[in-house]
Each structure stands twice: as structure tokens, then as C-alpha cells.
Amino acid sequence: MIDQICLHDALLEGAKEVFETMVFMDIEESLETDQDIENWALLGSITFKGGMEGCLSFCSNVSCAKAIASNMLGLDANKEPSEEDVCDAIGEIANMLMGSVKARILDKFETLEVSIPSVVSGRKLENNLGDGANKILVKLNIEDKHVAELSLLYRENTK
């Protein structure tokens, strides 16, 4: 059995690694509980199954998602990424985060199979895995300009 502290640390360390090496942005965990993402947001999610099943998601407002896409693509400050580029970037963030977390926890499970990421936009987005699911939520401060949320919903398989 894996504990929530271990998963929280895997999420945060994985996010720091991905953002530092692939997005070129500094992130820190935000301990401010009143920080909310603006109403309209993008949510990139990826599901997994095996010794543990669930969903990892990254949610940010549109301005944060555009900044992430611009950094990933190496765009000039005066050029804005297309909507397609922004969605692709958020999907890739979910994918890279899952890969980084998976590498940190795979020794606890025999296998974890991962889906392709999906991205949705809307208001007050959240994932739900149903009864018996555990949830870990990590609020992020990105470059002292943006807030985002990283969440892991999971159930351990006992078969």
C-alpha cells in the first residue's frame, strides 16, 4: 500500500522536474487555500490502471495555459500560441507529469498502464472517480504569476 504523503511528494517532485526541464518555468507548492483558478479553465487529464487505477489531472486558467504553451514552443513574447497549441501543450503536460510520477512510484506496483491524455475546457472543472477513491490535490504557484492545480484520484487494486 502506498501512502498519500508519498504520492503527494511524487506529484510535486514530478511537476517540478517537468516544469524545470520541459517548460522552463519555476513552480512551488502554494499553501494558500483561498487561491482559486478563474472560472474558465483547461484541464488536461490522463487515466491509468494496473496495481493502482485512477486519473491524474492538471488544471489552469487560460492565461497560465498560454504561458506554458509559449514556453514549451519557445515562442517570442509578442507571439501568442494558437488554441490548438495551447490544448496540445496542456495534454502534453498531463502526459509528462504522469510519466514522471509513474517513474517515482512504479516500484510499489507491478504495472501501471497509461492512456493518452485528453483536454477539456470549461468552468469549475474537476474529475471524479466515484466512491472509495482517494484524492490528492496540490496547488501550484507558477512563476509567481499563475496558479494551477495538480490532482491525483486513485484506488489501489487489491487483486
pLDDT in tens, 1-59: 566 778 999 999 999 999 999 999 999 998 876 666 666 789 999 999 998 899 999 99
DSSP assignments along the chain, one per residue? ---HHHHHHHHHHHHHHHIIIII---EEE---TT----SEEEEEEEEEEESEEEEEEEEEEHHHHHHHHHHHHT--TT-PPPHHHHHHHHHHHHHHHHHHHHHHHGGGSS-EEE---EEEEEES------TT-EEEEEEEEETTTEEEEEEEEEEE---
- Kindly report the CATH number that applies to the domain delimited by 4-156: 3.40.1550.10
Tell me, what's the pLDDT at 1? 55
pLDDT of 158 over the 70 cut: no
What are the grid coordinates assigned to 63, written together?
A: 492565461
Q: What is the pLDDT of residues 118-150, one digit of tens each?
A: 999 988 776 666 777 889 999 999 999 998 999
Tell me, what's the pLDDT at 8? 92
Tell me, what's the pLDDT at 86? 96
Buried b (16+ CB within 10 A) or exposed e, 94-133: bbbbbebbbebbeebeeebebeebbbeeeeebebebeeee
Q: What is the pLDDT of residues 66-115, one digit of tens each?
A: 999 999 999 988 899 999 999 999 999 999 999 999 999 888 877 889 99
Tell me, what's the pLDDT at 35? 62
Distance of alpha carbon 12 from alpha carbon 33, whole angstroms? 16
Tell me, what's the pLDDT at 33? 61
Tell me, what's the pLDDT at 32? 74
